[in-house]
Amino acid sequence: MKFVKFLLLGIVFGIVMAKSEAISWFRIQEMFRFQAFHMYGIIGTAVTLGVLGVALIKKFKIRDFHGNPISFYPKERSVIRYLLGGTIFGLGWALSGACPGPMVVNIGYGFLTMTIVFLFAIIGTFLYGLIKEKLPH
Amino acid sequence: MLELITQTWSWWFSGAMIAGIMFFLLYFGQSFGFSSNLRTICAAAGLGKKTKFFDFKWRAQIWNLVFLVGAIIGGFIAKQFLSSGAPVPISGETISDLAKLGIAAPTSLQPDELFSLDALLSVKGFLVLSLGGLMVGFGSRYAGGCTSGHAISGLSDLQIPSLISVIGFFIGGLIMTFFILPLIF
C-alpha cells in the first residue's frame, strides 16, 4: 500500500507530460530552435516555484510525513562530468526528442517504438557503469 | 471545459503541476529524479555482480519504479480519455525549418519519420532511435541526472552542478539541432 501514492504521482506526471506536449519530439525541436515560449514556460514555472518552495522548506525546517527533516544533499563539485555528461545527454535529447521520463510516457501514449529508445537508454546507462572509472569526473 | 482538458495544457499550469509533484515526492521522503530508474533497472537485472556501479541496495528505489509504471499509465490515460487527437500546435517557423529537413508538419504528437514502425525498421531510423536513447542513458548518468534531477530538482535547490549540466544539455541539444540533424535528414 505504501507504493500507491507513488503510483498516483506517476500517473499525474504522465498525464501532465503528455498534455503539456513535453513528450513531443516537435516541442523539443521548437525549444532548441527558440521558436516558442511553451517549453521554457513549463520549466521556468516549475523552477521558479521550486526555488521558492525549497527555500521555504529550508527556512521553516519542514519535515516529511515520516517526521524526518527534508534534507538536500549538495552534489559533488566538478565541472567536467556535468558539462560532458550534460552535452551527451543533450545530443540524445534533441535526437530522440525525449528524456527518460517522457520516453515511458510515450510508450503509454501508444508510441511503442519509443520502447527501443528506452531500452537503449538502459544500455547507455550500463555502458556508463562499465567505463565509469576511465572517464574524467 | 472539456475543450480546456483536451487541448494543449498551458505552460503555467503544467509547470506548477511538475513543481507540485516534486514537492509531494519530497514530502514522501524521496526526491524527483527519473533517470535514476535506468541505473536501478540495471541493478535489478543483476548487473551489480560484475559492475560495481550497479551493486547497491536497489530495492530502496522501488518507489521510483512504481512512479515509472504510473507515468506509463498516465500517458495511456492522456491518450485515451484526455486527448482530441489534434496535431501538436507548434510554431510555423519550426514547421518550415523541419520541412527543410524533410520532416512533415505534425499530424499527431510525434513525427512518423522517426517513430513509425517503418522508420524503426529502416537502418537510419533504427540508428536515430537507438543512438538517441544510448546518449540520453549514458549522458544522464555521467552528469548524475536528467531534466527532472538537474533542471527541476537541482536548479530549485540552486545547485551549481545542475546549472552546469543544464548548460551542457543545451550545448548538446543545439549541436544536434543545428549541425547534426541537417546531416542526418
- B93: in domain: no
Query: B155 is in which domain, residue-wise?
Result: 116-185
| CA atoms of B31 and B52, how far apart (whole Å) | 23
Taking residues A108-133, what's their average pLDDT? 97
- In single-letter form, the type of residue at position B33 comes to G
**What SS3 state is found at B86?**
coil
- B88: in domain: no
What spatial distance separates the first Cα and last Cα of chain A, rounded to whole Å?
40
Taking residues A72-82, what's their average pLDDT? 93
- B74: in domain: yes
- B181: in domain: yes
| CA atoms of A43 and A63, how far apart (whole Å) | 26
How much of chain B exceeds pLDDT 90, in percent?
Answer: 95
Taking residues B54-78, what's their average pLDDT? 97
**Which positions in chain B touch A92 (Cβ < 8 Å)?**
131-139, 172
Give 3-state DSSP helix, strand, coil % of chain B, rounded to 5. Answer: 70, 0, 30
B137 in the same domain as B62: no
Interface test with B, best of A57, A93, A130, A137 (most B CBs within 10 A): A93
Given this model, what pLDDT does residue B181 score? 97
Query: Phi first, then psi: what are they for A63, rounded to 5°?
Result: -105, 160
pLDDT at B22 over 90: yes
B175 in the same domain as B129: yes
* ipTM of this predicted structure: 0.96
Taking residues B99-112, what's their average pLDDT? 96
pLDDT bin (cut points 50, 70, 90) of residue A120 is very high
Interface test with B, best of A5, A8, A13 (most B CBs within 10 A): A13
- B100: in domain: no
Q: How many domains does chain B have?
A: 2
- B107: in domain: no
Taking residues B103-115, what's their average pLDDT? 97
Tell if the CB–CB gap between A86 and B164 is shorter than 8 Å. Answer: yes
Question: Last residue of some domain: B32, B62, B83?
Answer: B83
- B73: in domain: yes
pLDDT bin (cut points 50, 70, 90) of residue A114 is very high
- pTM recorded for the entire structure: 0.96
pLDDT at A86 over 90: yes
Given this model, what pLDDT does residue B4 score? 86
Question: Last residue of some domain: B37, B65, B83?
Answer: B83
